[in-house]
Every structure is written in structure tokens, then in C-alpha cells.
Chain A
Amino acid sequence: MLDPSDQDLVQRARTGQPEAFGDLVRRYQASVFNVCYRLLGERSAAEDLAQEAFIRAHARLAQYDPARPFGPWMRRVAANLCLNHLAAQRPSLPLDDERDQSATELLSQDPAAVREAAETAEAVRAAILALPPHYRAVIELRHFQELSYADIAAALSLPVSDVKSQLFRARKLLAEHLTRNA
């Protein structure tokens, strides 16, 4: 039997069936958690905000357009939540030790082949987290949520020209950070 579609689960959740929303949580919790982790850099905070993002999404299910895919909408809710969280606490969080665990897990599979990829991933995560929060936001929305300039502008309430300048500047900083720590 085929798994129910996201739209089916949303419809059931809207009519008061929490177990349907539980299925949606299990379906998207990993990607939502990773949005939060990329923006926050700390596992515990990322898990808490991912959880909060699902609770908020459930409360806003009436605003969700079933004609659009659920995953990107859900990740957008999480990103907005994290951005608000970052705006509320100015200092950037330090990169959490989980990066080491991720690299260790990869290394345990095939050390020689994945060592470079793991180190690169760790360096990229560190470079992203070294960015100011508003630069981190445009990188997240453009590269991981694949929004257009116009959609990023709408999500962040910025002019498109500001989105472009922040995005290009963020990329420059990322490249410089990666070169410096290579």
C-alpha cells in the first residue's frame, strides 16, 4: 500500500487527526533539523527549534496552500523561526561538537575515501556559522532552500538589490574563510 501523500496527511491533520501530523513530522524532521542546525550551529538548540517549528506549522496549517509542496513550506517556517531566534540573540553561537561526530561517522565507513569530504563539510559548516546572521540567512535560503532572489527578498522583507548584495558578500566571506583555513 502506498504511503499517504503530504497533502492527504495535511488534510487529515487539519481535521483534527494528530497522528497524521506526526507522520509529517517523521517525514520532514531530519531536513528541518538540518535547516536549524545550519543556522544555529548547536544541536540542542536546533532540535528545540525544529520541534517548535513543527508546533508553529501545525498552528498555521490553515495558511498552508496544498497546491505547493509541504517540505519547502515547512523548512521556510523553520528558517524564519531560527532567523527570529538569531535576531533575538546577537552573538553567534560557537560550532558545536556534533560536527566532529558527523565526521567520525563518515570516517568509520570508509576513512580514506571520505576524509577529505568530511573535513570540507566541517570547514563549510564552520564558515557558514562564522558569517553574521543576516548573511547566514541568505546563504540558507538561496543554497539550501533554493529560493530565487525575489522569494528571498519576500521572505526577509528586503529589496532584491539588498538580497543580491548580501548574498554576494556572504559568498565572498565564505570563500575567504575557506581559503584561510584550508
Chain B
Amino acid sequence: MLIKRSPNGIELPFSSEITPRAVYEGRRDFIRQLAVGAIGSAALMEMAQREAFAQGVRPKLAGKLNPAYSALDKPTPYKDATSYNNFYEFGTDKSEPAMYAGSLKTHPWTVGIEGEVKKPMTLDLDSLLKLAPLEERVYRLRCVEGWSMVIPWVGYSFSEIMKKVEPTSNAKYVEFISLADKKQMPGVGSRVLDWPYTEGLRIDEAAHPLALLTLGMYGEVLPNQNGAPVRMVLPWKYGFKSAKSIVKIRFVREQPRTSWNLSAPNEYGFYSNVNPEVDHPRWSQASERRIGEDGFLARKRKTLMFNGYADVAPLYAGMDLKKFY
């Protein structure tokens, strides 16, 4: 384990690797100077400062390390995890979310929880933060594209939400809907996917303790490009199953129609569990490249069934995972 533990979370040995934030701050400084110098408007300056706060200095968000759910892999450098992202609402290139997600306003933010539940509710961020004790979990993240990272997330099991809203016996699936606001998200104008981005889980998958409702990473609140202010993290599934910037959670009777499955059903199934034996039509899923670690001189590393999270295997007992990919 390369991260130091402390009573309220971890202390990160990465301070030298956080340069992109300096770049960010530099850019925000520039905007601020522009606002002050060229225009001199107090309102603009205030806006620029608020922006600087939003992206430059990220508030701390500590969680108690949960060793049972923490991988021993070396965490991916913060810089890589925050500058190499798939978040199509901000563009299809992996560098674009870090460039453009600054326009996302994460305050105020509410998540509506509705559908087949006894107690539908709308939760703001404060309520979400207080809903259950925050934990830190170091999860492997396997992208369907064949690369992987290791990220210390901060959040709690999604089952805590379920306890609060009390799904009825009709609730067979959970649907997660992301924000789709063209004004804040330049990529939403594109026709790559049907917006809003929609993901889903079977109810027993959602109830599995590994399914993490996530509010932070690396001991800080989520950066916008990583799905701020609230997202799911499902480490045994390909990354795209973990919806970002969630505004609505619906408990439903039927299997939800999920964005990537609608877009290319032969490539992205509803389950999309990490499975080295089921190829993507255009590439093998048997191996992966760990970002920041595996380079030119290494063969790709083997991908593990369920990304190494064998705990979830009973959820799929008796299912043909080649058919339900």
C-alpha cells in the first residue's frame, strides 16, 4: 500500500503530481485579471473568483478508509485521473472534460429519487453528504476501451439511499439519469448519444455494498470532469456504467434503456460486467493497460473477471454472461 493512512482518511503523497491544478489556477487567474483589468466590473470579478474556487481549490472531503473494499494496487496519479476522462457531455476527446467541465455549476444541486419507492424525495448535496458516514475506497476502474486506473473514491454504499427511500416490491431496476444542460455542457449538442445520459442496474446489483454513491476522490470533492457533484462507481462493471453528475434516480419495474446500449447494442450490453472472456467486437477484453504504470516496455496486464471483484459473482449465478454481456 503506497498511501498513508490517517484517522480520517488518507494523506496523499501526490502533491508533486498535482501540476494541472496549477495550470487550472493559472487559467482562472488570467480570467480574473481579465475581469478586473480590462472590464473592471465587480460582478465579473466575483464571478471569476467563484469560478476559481469551483475548479482551482477543491474542498477536502475525507472518508474513513474501508480496507475491506480497498484494492492494494498503486493509485493512479491524480493528474492522470483528472485529465484523461470519458465524459461525453463535455466532448468526445479524453482531454476535453478537463478543459470544458469548468462551466458545470455543481451548487446548488439536487437529486430527485422517485418511482417505485415508499418515500420519494429530493435530496440536496448537504443531505447527500450527511446521509451516511463517508468511506474511502480504493477501487480499480476498468474502461471498456481497454485501459484501467486505480482511484481512491469517497462515498457510501448506494444501499444507504435505498434504506431511506424504501423501494417497493415492484422496483426491479434502478435508473440513473445524468444532467444534460447544453448551456453548461458543450458536448450535449452532439448526436453521439441520446441525452440525457442514462444508466441502469438490476435492483440487487444496486443493493450490493460495492456499488458506491460517490461524492469525492483523492480526499477532495469530485472534480467536475470526474462527474461532480455526485456519481455512481461500480468497480466490477466497465466505467461507462457508472453514471456521472446524477440529477435523477428512478426505481422502475422494467429494465431501463441505457445510453450506450441504445447507441450500439452489439457493443455495449445492459450488464457490461468486466469480463475477459467476452470480447468487444472491435477488440479483446482479455487484457488492459494501467494508465500511468504500463508503458512501452510492458505487455498489457490480464483483465480479471468482474475486474477482480469476485464478491459480485453470486448476483449472476446461472446466467450466461456471454449472452448477457
**Do A and B come together as binding partners?**
no
